Amino acid sequence: MVGSSIARAADDVIYTHAGPEISVASTKAFTSQLTILVLLSLYLGKRRGVLPDDRIRKLIEELSAVPQAMSQLLGQLPAVRIIARRYMQARDVLYLGRGLGFPVALEGALKLKEISYIHAEGYASGEMKHGPIALVDESMPVVVIALRGPGYEKVLSNLAEVRARGGKIIALATVGDREIVDMADDVVMVPDVDELFQPIVACVPLQLFAYHVADLRGSDVDQPRNLAKSVTVE
């Protein structure tokens, strides 16, 4: 924010201009920061001459369409609430993602634990067999970021491993993906955007899921316990 401590301490600042942040676990802070990082990457790519102008124009056009894609996801709010009701009593939830989907999984797990107080962990899909798979059983919901792109087939392999062990699968899939429907217990379809922008749109249904789970459990979604707007302890 303009005038904040970190802005005064920094040599250069890019402001998000996302408006007042009311909720501790806010969606707009995360998505606006991701958008700024994309714009900064495009700027540096142009300045260094490693990104062609036509590619930059195409990406900016697609980025301009991302808000519409996010609005479409907000239209799925009733469906996400139904899924949330199905899993609101879970004690643990595992989130899996590959490539750019991995930090999205981390964000999804973070939001769920922050506001619903359910233990949740995010893992890189490729590490599933190195420990997390031991936790999977019929009482363990597994959220999988399974959007089309590099590594998609490997993500399907992860889904099959979870399904073979009785785990309940909640998948984020690209609109039009029929293969996922047969493998997951619940599916939220995400608009088809460039891989670079997938994290921006994919985090929306995950945060909606966390919100509804917390709301159904009677938690304060705006002011979770033990969390504060500003951190004063190092």
Average pLDDT score, the chain? 90
Give the chain's domains with CATH numbers. Answer: 5-64 (no CATH), 76-216 (3.40.50.10490)
The predicted pLDDT at position 100 comes to 92
The predicted pLDDT at position 24 comes to 67
Is the pLDDT score of 234 beyond 70?
no
CA distances from 228 to 5, 37, 141 (A): 16, 25, 29
- Exposed e or buried b per residue across 124-163, where buried means at least 16 C-beta atoms within 10 angstroms of its C-beta: bbeebeeebbeebeeebbbbbbbbbbebbeebbebbebbb
Q: Which two tokens stand for residue 2?
A: 């303009």
**141, 90 contact by CB (below 8 A):** yes
Task: Please report the sign of the dihedral spanned by the C-alpha atoms of residue 182, residue 188, residue 75, residue 101.
Answer: negative
The predicted pLDDT at position 229 comes to 60
> What does the pLDDT look like over 109-165, one tens digit per residue?
999 999 999 999 999 988 887 787 888 888 889 999 999 988 889 989 888 889 888
The predicted pLDDT at position 26 comes to 77
Q: How confident is the model at residue 230 (pLDDT cuts 50, 70, 90)?
A: low
Is the pLDDT score of 39 beyond 90?
yes
